[in-house]
Structure 1
């Protein structure tokens, strides 16, 4: 199954909203982990965004999944970049 790197970009304007909705966002991520769709996730230390690695059947299925993220629903993500990723070595290589 393809792996996708999802880059979220945040701004200062969404800090309060992200603080409010973070528990729900992390619960959604935990659900994706339990379902096998999420491989790993975490914010960038400078607060500018986050990197999330997902497995999905295809880009369309991933877009449907991402639309359910509480941060997306609340419009707290300034930009989303999705790139299919092919790990060759390391923890995520097959």
Structure 2
């Protein structure tokens, strides 16, 4: 499994209407262990989420089902593979 950092920029006019469905979508993925964390940027221009997926193709299949994507809230989306090596959330190596 690989980690991916996904950043989106919002189409603000549609944001409020779609947000509840988007948060439910991410919440369900978090329950499945796919989303480690996610949330809006401090300036409200977009959001960042950290996903775990088999590869970028599998991730794209997942995030293309996000209501933000399906309902036109995403003005721009970037996906970058992330390789965490240090952090409290990482499993301890023995």
TM-score (ref. length: structure 1): 0.91
Larger Rg: 1 or 2? 2
> What RMSD in Å do the two structures reach over aligned CA positions?
1.1
Off by >6 Å, runs of 4+ in structure 1: none
Matches within 5 A, 1:12-91: 14-91=11-88
Q: Does 1:4 find its partner at 2:10?
A: no
2:74 alignment partner, SS class = coil
Larger helix proportion, structure 1 or 2? Answer: 1
Gaps of at least 5 residues in structure 2 are: none
Gaps of at least 5 residues in structure 1 are: none
Aligned residues between the structures: 91
Distance 1:91 1:51, change over 3 A: farther
Larger strand proportion, structure 1 or 2? Answer: 2
